[in-house]
Structure 1
Amino acid sequence: MIETLKAWWQELRSQILFIPGLLVFFGMGLAVAMVEIDRSVGAEPIRGIPWLFGGGASGARDVLATIATAMAQLAGITFSVTIVALALRSQQFGPRLLRNFTRDTANQVVLGTFLGTFVYALLVLRSVRDLEDATFVPLLAITGAILLALVSLGFFIFFIDKIVDSIQATSIIAQAAEETHAAIDSLFPESLGEDGYTEGDELEHPPLADAVPVLSRETGYIQTLANKKLIELASKADIVVRMEAPIGGFIVKGTPLASVSPRSRVDEKLLSKIWKTYQIGRHRSVTSDPEFGIRQVVDVAVKALSPSMNDPTTAVTTTEYVGALVIDFATRSIPSNLRMDYRGTLRVIAIGPTFRQVADLAFDQIREYGSDSVAVVLALLDSIIRVAGAVRAEPRKEILVSHVWKISRAAAKAIPDPVDREAVNRRLRLAMESLGRGESDAMHYLLPLKHEG
């Protein structure tokens, strides 16, 4: 239930009009409340206060109409600037990062402030009366409209500054990386401060015997799984559940989502309950799927290395942030894929992220598209050197050694200049040394000074 609510909340947050809609209703309620306060207090007791609006009905209409018009124009400008920023962001850094922008709370608050003030001014304007037998000018409400207009002006200045910052490469990369760090921290809160490797965490578990498949009822991405609820169901029914697709994986309607054993203890009602522990949606969610967060950051580097962009500096920055994410993952205590109930009986065989998957996701595509750039190759090796400082287990070091080998082979084919090749060789030696390999091992990874291509 909690996981479902989290997924629903994340989906709601990603809608750009979520907070603006709330602030519009707040502006409506505030306008009604302020007008009623004015009716209760009356104009005479407060007319002499210096900072309150002191004009008549005609002046009140002019002020409120001006504020409403200005807010409508600011909202229009904000929409236009936002659309332009989204287009630039999508074109330069990839479409996956658009949802980070649209669910940004600050952007939504700014737009909501303009729309809320617009609605507030209109409703207060409606209450102004200038008849022979009844004149009503809500002084407090009009003063509130003026204050809201000043606040909106401050928000507009803030918005312009934020938009300028939000389309800069470094800010976009940092924002995506911070969101991924937060997801890692939420999913794996126990930080060991050192290598979190446990024996067997890279192993795949075989399919269950005598199993019944849990078929997906939707097509989309697996966003969340209610782990505790699933273990409780499995314990109560005395069964074992094996995940057939990981969190963040794409599942097609009618294909196996999980398998349940033994068959004799399974019925349609139980399969339906297991299905309900999953949340399927149209988008991957970083909150429960930090690998998607790494993918978003890597996409920035891949886009920067495309022929249309040709921006190795952005790719280098991205590689540095990706290395930090790998280190963060490596130093976390990752729960075993074998999930037990309170009696210590195996109930769920999960598919969790592994160090190999994270390292491959972080380095492979950047190496593939950036092997002809000396700066990118050096940045990849520097990231591996930093990651090597955080891992102690030999199996994880072997994974990093394999990446050093792949980087070396790719660079040998793509970098022709002998001086550049020597610079790469120096960094290769440092990488192999950081992984506990001697000079004799490093010699096999060095680039020949003569270009192979």
Structure 2
Amino acid sequence: MAGRLLSRLRALLLDLRQRLWAKPLAACLLSVLGVGLAWVLDSEWLMRNPPEVSADSIESLLSIMASSMLVIAIFAAGAMVSAYASASNHSSPRSFPLVLADDTSQNAYSIFVGAFIFGVVGLVALENSSFETVGRFVLFIETAVVFALVILTFVRWVDRIARLGRQGNTNQRAEEAVTGAIRSYRRSPLRGGVPATGLPPGSLPVEADDVGFVCAIDMACLQECAKQNQLVVEVTALPGAFMVPGRALVRVDGARTGVTEKVAGTLRSAFRISQTREFDGDPRFGMVVLSEIAGRALSPAVNDPGTAIDVTGRLVRIFVEWVRTVPEAGSPEYPLVQVPEISLSDLVEDAFTAIARDGAGTIEVGTRLMKTLNTLASLGNEELATAARAQARLALAHAELHMELPAQVVRLRALASFAD
């Protein structure tokens, strides 16, 4: 039960991170509580000889804050929207959640809105004579802290907003998201379960009843259901799988009288299905997004092979992270749940197929791609090497069809000789 609660709480926090209203709402509540704290301390805190702060000085500061912060917040919102549009138009629409989840921009916007609310509430309370000497002193200290926080945040935010939505920044955020998903997956490739060995004939499927992508799997829920009903559960739909009614989410073995609707409902509830894929827990989606960024850069309308070359370098770092990160040792946490592993050949295909196709007529992209695949083949992972060689042969076939100069084809054939 605790595991299911933790999983749902984590999913809620991830969802709130992409909601622009969440942090501003929290900042507004903190602002109101700050003014309330000054009022409470005014009557409860017995300070000897408290500093005398005139109400007029505090009123001036609060008036400046209330009149200026709303304008700055509107300006911040406009700058953020422009950055989001730039990221979607010049990179990939799938990269939008990464830009939207930028903590610095969200924090800045939240502080600006919170400062505005603090100024308005504090001004109303002050003009209604709600504070004595101690209360005015506390409110003055809070106002000074808010002013300092606004100035520091604004300086930091201007530096960030100048980069937010730019191609390089979006590529970097996509790489970080994919690297995090790869590292998390490699540490626990079976998600706490056991390897999928295939259930015996006669095992029963539990099919999806919704349309969408699997975004997360509650392994604790599957283990608890399997234990209570004396089942063995095999996961057949990993995060990223597109589900339709009739496609199996899991298969179960051990149900002598069949799977009741209650048990099937419990198993289905362990799968969170959404209309869009998410980066967390779905390494293949990150590879697709990076590949889309490179593919869009290679389109005739953009014609930016440098971005595609930059993406191939980032993909090398991601696959190096795959090789370096080893699974954590220990007994499986969910021994009644069998989980298949992600195929490295699928990851390589997701990462490089679009680049090989769209960059087939560009010698600089083809050269870098061959060198990249050669690097992956030499990392010491045989499965990765096999997938890289297969992708090199495919890339060479694309190049032979699209390149006009025979000398360039000969050069690529020489670079692809490692795949023979």
Which bracket does the TM-score occupy, shorter chain normalised? 0.7 to 0.9
Q: Following TM superposition, by how much is the alpha carbon of 1:293 offset from its aligned partner in structure 2, in angstroms?
A: 1.5
User: What is residue 83 of structure 1 aligned with on the other side?
Assistant: 81
* Structure number with larger C-alpha Rg: 1
Q: Following TM superposition, by how much is the alpha carbon of 1:44 offset from its aligned partner in structure 2, in angstroms?
A: 9.8
Matched, 1:383 2:372: yes
8 Å contact kept, 1:43–1:138? no
User: What is residue 229 of structure 2 aligned with on the other side?
Assistant: 237
SS at match of 2:216: strand
User: What is residue 151 of structure 2 aligned with on the other side?
Assistant: 153
Counterparts in 2 of 1:262-411, with a 5 A limit? Answer: 262=254, 264-265=256-257, 266-333=259-326, 347-393=336-382, 395-411=383-399
SS at match of 1:306: coil
Rounded to whole Å, the distance in 1 between the matches of 2:149 and 2:7 is 37
> Which range is displaced more, 74-83 or 152-161?
152-161
Q: Following TM superposition, by how much is the alpha carbon of 1:349 offset from its aligned partner in structure 2, in angstroms?
A: 4.2
SS at match of 1:214: strand
Query: Which residue type is aligned with residue 286 of structure 2?
Result: G
Rounded to whole Å, the distance in 2 between the matches of 1:226 and 1:408 is 42
Q: Following TM superposition, by how much is the alpha carbon of 1:39 offset from its aligned partner in structure 2, in angstroms?
A: 5.2
User: What is residue 122 of structure 1 aligned with on the other side?
Assistant: 120
User: What is residue 402 of structure 2 aligned with on the other side?
Assistant: 414
Q: 1:39 to 1:391 in 2, by over 3 A?
A: same
Q: Following TM superposition, by how much is the alpha carbon of 1:316 offset from its aligned partner in structure 2, in angstroms?
A: 0.7
Query: Which residue type is aligned with residue 75 of structure 1?
Result: A
Query: Which residue type is aligned with residue 15 of structure 2?
Result: E
User: What is residue 214 of structure 1 aligned with on the other side?
Assistant: 206
| Cα-to-partner distance string for 1:105-140 (whole Å, 9 max, x where unaligned) | 222111111111111111111122478xx9878243
8 Å contact kept, 1:209–1:261? no
Rounded to whole Å, the distance in 1 between the matches of 2:115 and 2:333 is 54
SS at match of 1:287: coil
Identity across the alignment (%): 19
Query: Which residue type is aligned with residue 260 of structure 1?
Result: V
SS at match of 1:427: helix
Query: Which residue type is aligned with residue 140 of structure 1?
Result: V
User: What is residue 192 of structure 2 aligned with on the other side?
Assistant: none
| Cα-to-partner distance string for 1:296-353 (whole Å, 9 max, x where unaligned) | 2212111211222111101110111112223323444569xxx8965xxxx4443431
| Cα-to-partner distance string for 1:413-432 (whole Å, 9 max, x where unaligned) | 22223443344344324xx0
TM-score (norm. length: structure 2) = 0.86
Matched, 1:34 2:59: no
Rounded to whole Å, the distance in 2 between the matches of 1:256 and 1:327 is 33
Query: Which residue type is aligned with residue 97 of structure 1?
Result: S
SS at match of 1:165: coil
Query: Which residue type is aligned with residue 214 of structure 1?
Result: V
Rounded to whole Å, the distance in 2 between the matches of 1:43 and 1:349 is 64
Gap regions ≥5 residues in structure 1 = 49-53, 192-200, 436-440, 442-453
8 Å contact kept, 1:4–1:279? no
TM-score (norm. length: structure 1) = 0.80
Q: Following TM superposition, by how much is the alpha carbon of 1:148 offset from its aligned partner in structure 2, in angstroms?
A: 1.2
Q: CA RMSD in A?
A: 3.0
Rounded to whole Å, the distance in 1 between the matches of 2:49 and 2:85 is 54
Q: 1:275 to 1:56 in 2, by over 3 A?
A: closer
| Cα-to-partner distance string for 1:68-111 (whole Å, 9 max, x where unaligned) | 11110110000000111111111001111111122222221111
Q: Following TM superposition, by how much is the alpha carbon of 1:154 offset from its aligned partner in structure 2, in angstroms?
A: 2.2
Rounded to whole Å, the distance in 2 between the matches of 1:130 and 1:257 is 62
Rounded to whole Å, the distance in 2 between the matches of 1:179 and 1:340 is 26
SS at match of 2:36: helix
8 Å contact kept, 1:326–1:362? no
Q: Following TM superposition, by how much is the alpha carbon of 1:26 offset from its aligned partner in structure 2, in angstroms?
A: 1.0
| Aligned with 1:140 (options 122, 138, 141) | 138
Q: Following TM superposition, by how much is the alpha carbon of 1:400 offset from its aligned partner in structure 2, in angstroms?
A: 1.9
Rounded to whole Å, the distance in 2 between the matches of 1:389 and 1:414 is 28
SS at match of 2:109: helix
Q: 1:399 to 1:130 in 2, by over 3 A?
A: closer
Query: Which residue type is aligned with residue 33 of structure 1?
Result: L
Matched, 1:224 2:211: no
SS at match of 2:237: coil
Rounded to whole Å, the distance in 1 between the matches of 2:228 and 2:43 is 62
Rounded to whole Å, the distance in 2 between the matches of 1:271 and 1:142 is 60
Q: 1:135 to 1:46 in 2, by over 3 A?
A: closer
8 Å contact kept, 1:181–1:325? yes
Query: Which residue type is aligned with residue 388 of structure 1?
Result: A
SS at match of 1:171: helix
Query: Which residue type is aligned with residue 103 of structure 1?
Result: A
| Aligned with 1:16 (options 17, 20, 28) | 20
